[in-house]
Amino acid sequence: MAINYPEYVNNQPPVITLREYDDADWAPSTCLDSRPEGYVVVLMEQPEQVIARIHGDDNKTLDTIFKSAKDQHARQEAEKQQQ
């Protein structure tokens, strides 16, 4: 079954909200990535392929989520090194 990702607009990935991403039927085959230009949705199997850009209004929420994930990863790595 083919997955229908959102179409590019003027050769640019569309801008979507975090809510639209959460509700998208194609979301399970993608993930969020933090890039210098902002948050983007990429294909899990091809992270260089940007599917959509996340609207800037959702940056604060994503900043919190990404910071928490990075902090948790750092704690886990520190625990591994202590063992």
How many distinct structural domains can be found in the chain? 1
Q: What is the pLDDT of residue 73?
A: 83
Distance CA 58, CA 18 (A): 6
For residue 66, the enclosing domain spans: 15-82
Q: Is 24 a domain residue? A: yes
- Of the two residues 80 and 33, the one the predictor is more confident about is 33
Residue 5 lies in a domain: no
Residue 10 domain flag: no
Grade residue 1 by pLDDT with cuts at 50, 70 and 90: low
Is residue 7 a part of any domain in this protein?
A: no
Distances (CA, A) of 71 to 28, 78, 83: 24, 11, 19
Is residue 1 a part of any domain in this protein?
Answer: no
The 10s digit of each residue's pLDDT in 17-75 is 999 999 999 999 999 999 999 999 999 999 999 999 999 999 999 999 988 888 888 88
pTM of this prediction?
A: 0.83
9 falls within a domain = no
